[in-house]
Homo-oligomer: A and B are copies of this chain.
């Protein structure tokens, strides 16, 4: 028979919106209460949004966050949720500095609060910069059951607070998270969560944020495992969801407090008496993780939708070239915002092929987005003639006239401009700064060219399977890629075949492998030399590129911080 009903609130809150986020906590706690839950668990820093970055350092913000938490405790009583123990992440601050904190709200008061122990300071994370680590573990006794909590990174590092909770003795561990999506990360989460549950000797409930915040997207994937690591429930990815389940928790004994394995374990008793028995609810479904391409697609849609919505845009505009990149971005935008909120412009030049226009028009027809044509020949001509441009300067002026036109349309109508470059281009600098690189957001910035094709094919198949028109014209997928900035130009004039290029980039950018390693991996030395030179030389362009959704282990941006002024070149001859 169950002893406790818990609800994991996989919600989408917004950075900085303290009032709105508090409303979200009230709304979802009420849902939890209506479902009969005794505990509601919210993500890491649900009240402030995540990551708040240097806002954590601003006193006015941390003060407001603390006050919002306290008023939230009272609001929950008014909302009829006094008897639900609400575990919620927030920003705290004490004499030591700002804290990544989680609190327990119960019957109108903040009854427990503790701080994150391990502060991630790698990849996209800068938490050592903005937080001080905590050493306390507050274990709350509710209905005779001892509930401990740790925060996100605390379960990713060995020798941490979970071991201390296990040694101290707890009946249940709750873990609020803000764990950004990366391809294949969900494959790591379940074994990790299962292992920590075994380490704690107790069931573990893991709740993760869902939604987009600048370059990060959170996939949810909240789950509950039992003390042996078996999955009891798992929430679907990329949607807000309340995961409610009954837990059968045999109360342990011999519970320690005080110093345990270097942590300060504190006990707070809310209620000692076990609940009367009730008939267990049916177990909630265990949502399987999405297949890879569908998962990536969902991440990209979520990231684009939330950037648009949370920054107050009602519509987006993009340049539609007939090529695969802009076709994919258009399809993503239609899925994220609806066709009526997407404006696509074909801007043919003298070098644009006939199929550029027809493919673009066909995509517009298939998806129902707003479509217009603005030839750039007259604009380009003035620049070329007045300034006497040739070669690269002439090529770039075409891309830049498109950029100016797109921005003008954005200024006139208030659209968010979408840049359509992919990760492979961004890596080697195969784009025109202030040209095709203009935009407020770059939805496929972290998607390699080979994955662009794979996603396009997947999206078309998915449409066909649902009996819908595939959004992307087949010709956009199959034709050889070209920037069409001079007659007969092909990407392969400048770049290696994308399959090969992406392979090298994967090793150099994500793998951070050096020249010798790349040769050992079997790549041709001249190819390696050429690709690496292009990547290194394009750093300055990447710095001015718009933000876009991270889907890989290492996206350009905060994940990979390299100097622009950098004379280091990977090479064969290294001083011996």
Contact = CB atoms under 8 A, between A and B. Distances in A.
A512 B64 contact: no
Interface string A96-135: 0000000000000000000000000110001011000000
Bin the interface of chain A by size. 35 or more
A526 interface: no
A349 interface: no
Given A19-B575, A393-B411, A514-B59, A404 B405 contact: no
21 contacts: A16-B563, A18-B568, A18-B575, A51-B563, A54-B562, A55-B568, A67-B574, A121-B121, A122-B129, A129-B561, A213-B563, A214-B564, A374-B386, A379-B379, A379-B382, A382-B382, A389-B408, A397-B404, A400-B404, A400-B407, A544-B545
Contacts of A67: 574-576
Contacts of A183: none
A411 B310 CA distance: 37
A494 interface: no
A53 to B, nearest CB: 5
Contacts of A14: 565, 567
A387 B310 CA distance: 29
B408 A397 contact: yes
Interface in A128-183: 128-129
A401 interface: yes
Interface string A423-442: 00000000001100010100
A523 interface: no
A264 interface: no
Given A18-B575, A543-B547, A576-B67, A407 B412 contact: no
A52 interface: yes
A383 B401 CA distance: 9
A76 to B, nearest CB: 14
A433 B408 CA distance: 11
Given A61-B568, A407-B434, A408-B387, A563 B55 contact: yes
A15 B311 contact: no
Contact of A15 (B57, B405, B560, B568): B568
A560 B440 contact: no
A188 interface: no
